[in-house]
Amino acid sequence: MAQSTVFVKGALLLALLPISIAAWAADTPPPPPQVGYTTSTLHEPLFDFAETAVHSVKLNNWLNENFASLDEARKAPVRERLYYLIDSQIKHNFARTQRVLPAGSDLQLAILFSWAEKLGVYGGNLVFNRVKTETMELEPPVLELPPGIRLSLHGDLFELQSDSGWQVTFPYYFMIGEVRDMTNNDGRRTQLIIISTGAAKDTSKAGRSQATLMLIFSPGAKLPDFKSFWQSQIPIRSEDESLPLGVRGLTSQKNFDDKLNLHREMVAWSTPKGACAVVYLGNDGTYQWNRPHFIDFVNAVRPN
């Protein structure tokens, strides 16, 4: 069996490939993977198995040397590359074990998730603490959530809950980049969550990207004004293409900006405590690949 040299926080470790030995050797049958979300997207990783291992080590070493000098602008592409590697590792694991979250420790995922919160991704410490090896110390959260919003990890799903009246679950390898509780310029209180999906190949110059999910909730808002405001912000028009989603009787509006190579889709509905919308954005290719998870996400939003 091949061996790889892995650096973790300046320490030199010798790790056997495949790295997820604990998960692959588990005797117990795997639990149902990411309940409520299709696993049809968990193939075609951006990097093959060896590339994922090598690039993960290189990125970890580079961050050990350079993280202190990174400003917010320079963190963005590093954060994106980190999640391309996480996405590839998870797809390789799933192909071998049919598990989305390893049954035991996973050194490679631990290395990658050890940087997630430091690079601006909420919940990275929760995943790190779940997949870390016994010799690694627990990591506290780095990022602070707004009051009344809570994030937890249950199996292979994150759960976000708000005291304002909503909750949602989604796969732990989705990247939570923004969690805001704010007042819009229309005077309406709004909670805005921005999440990146798994990675996929697209038709952009880079050839790969993540799609974006936006969960928007305004307590006490009436749907017509709420929907009109956010359609103007995205922008999406009521007369744009209508697409029945097949969940909860909802229909979305969708358009494509050929100059930006960007698909936009939005669905909005009333809840017992306000108005809610989910916006889905993706480059051509990534949009189509991850759209099943957009529909799953819409279906996963619940009153709290």
The alpha carbon torsion through 208, 213, 214, 217 (nearest 10 deg) reads: 180
Distance CA 17, CA 1 (A): 7
Q: Which two tokens stand for residue 11?
A: 């320490």
Residues in Cβ contact with 219 at an 8 Å cutoff, skipping those fewer than 6 apart: 164, 165, 189, 273, 274
Please say whether the dihedral angle defined by the alpha carbons of residues 33, 37, 41 and 46, taken in this order, is positive or negative. Answer: negative
Reported as type and span, the H/E element at residue 95 is helix 72-97
Query: For the chain, what is the largest distance between any 2 Cα atoms, rounded to a whole number of angstroms?
Result: 61
Q: Which two tokens stand for residue 260?
A: 């930006």
- Please list the pLDDT of the chain residue by residue as tens digits (304 residues): 343 334 444 444 434 344 444 444 445 677 899 999 999 999 999 999 999 999 999 999 999 999 999 999 999 999 999 999 999 999 999 999 999 999 999 999 999 999 999 999 999 999 999 999 999 999 999 999 999 999 999 999 999 999 999 999 999 999 999 999 999 888 899 999 999 999 999 999 999 999 999 999 999 999 999 999 999 999 999 899 999 999 999 999 999 999 999 999 999 999 999 999 999 999 999 999 999 999 999 999 999 8
The confidence score (pLDDT) of residue 122 equals 98
Structural domains in the chain plus CATH codes = 3-131 (no CATH), 149-303 (2.60.120.1690)
The confidence score (pLDDT) of residue 28 equals 65
Please say whether the dihedral angle defined by the alpha carbons of residues 251, 285, 177 and 115, taken in this order, is positive or negative. Answer: positive
Rounded to 5°, the CA angle 141-144-146 comes to 145
